Amino acid sequence: MLAPKNAYPGFADTVNSEIRYPMVDLPMSVAEVLKADAIILTHLHADHWDDAARNLVPRNMPIFTQDAADAAIVRKDGFTDVRVLTEQGVVFKGTRINKTIGQHGTDEMYKVPALAQSLGKTMGLVFQKPNYKTVYVAGDTIWDKEVEGALTRYKPDAVVLNAGYAKLTSFDDSIIMGKEDVYRAYKFSPNAQIISVHMDTVNHATLTKAELRRFIEEKHLDKQRSLVPNDGQVYKF
């Protein structure tokens, strides 16, 4: 999202929908963001590809999408260098980017046709480069066999989890991960650093950074392995 704070009304049919989002301003200028080599869209929900981004991103920016359907939507907005990621991976500027599969909600949610359509498909990413650490970005997904498969297959050194525990009004469960999943990842991949993001920014994310940090303390997790970045904080792997 590249819009300023409070640009959009909260997501309909989600908890705390009266709260506008983004709930914070960008921690850097849009110009700084747009120094990126490429943009990867795990999916096209408005908190991952907002109206501001669609207007501000240069039309020749390399953009990677999860499938041909998303690519077609992005191209329709005039973007000229749109590429589709695959599970076999593509190499971009010396880094291999592999697509992983995500599930943006529970099996029960996907049994509701209208909800299944709005949740849609989503992906994660694994970045690999010789002599660099392998990074797995799980994306907007719950914990499932696909996530376990990616952790087992790629053995990432760093795992980025969207851990805000975002909730709909119609289900008790979350459409992404939460603190228990952070703990699960910590145990499942004992050699990886776990970086938790996607908190304190959209109305329906119910887990805060402060709450997650307290949970990490309570569980006595190694703080060098359990990272909760502040806005604008940078880690290098």
Phi, psi of 100 (to 5 degrees): -120, 160
The pLDDT score that the predictor gives to residue 82 is 98
Only one residue has tokens 């304190």, namely 200
Average pLDDT, the chain: 98
Q: What is the pLDDT of residues 117-143, one digit of tens each?
A: 999 999 999 999 999 999 999 999 999
Count of Cβ atoms closer than 10 Å to residue 93 Cβ: 9
The pLDDT score that the predictor gives to residue 59 is 98
What would the 3-class secondary structure string for the chain be? CCCCCCCECCCCCECCCCCCECCCCCCCCHHHHCCCCCEECCCCCCCCCCHHHHHHCCCCCCEEECCHHHHHHHHHCCCCCEEECCCCCEEECCEEEEEEEEECCCHHHHCCHHHHHHHCEEEEEEEECCCCCCEEECCCCCCCHHHHHHHHHHCCCEEEEECCCEEECCCCCECCCCHHHHHHHHHHCCCCEEEEECCCCCCCECCCHHHHHHHHHHCCCCCCCEECCCCCCCCCC
Average pLDDT over residues 54-58: 98
Q: What is the pLDDT of residues 164-215, one digit of tens each?
A: 999 999 999 999 999 999 999 999 999 999 999 999 999 999 999 999 999 9
**The tokens of 155 are what?**
């053995």
**Are 228 and 216 spatial neighbours (Cβ–Cβ below 8 Å)?**
yes
Assign 21 a pLDDT band (cuts: 50, 70, 90). very high
Distance CA 52, CA 89 (A): 29
pLDDT of 22 higher than 90 = yes
Average pLDDT over residues 66-83: 98
144: left (phi > 0), else alpha (psi -120 to 50), else beta? beta
pLDDT of 237 higher than 90 = no
pTM score: 0.97
Average pLDDT over residues 39-49: 98
The pLDDT score that the predictor gives to residue 178 is 98
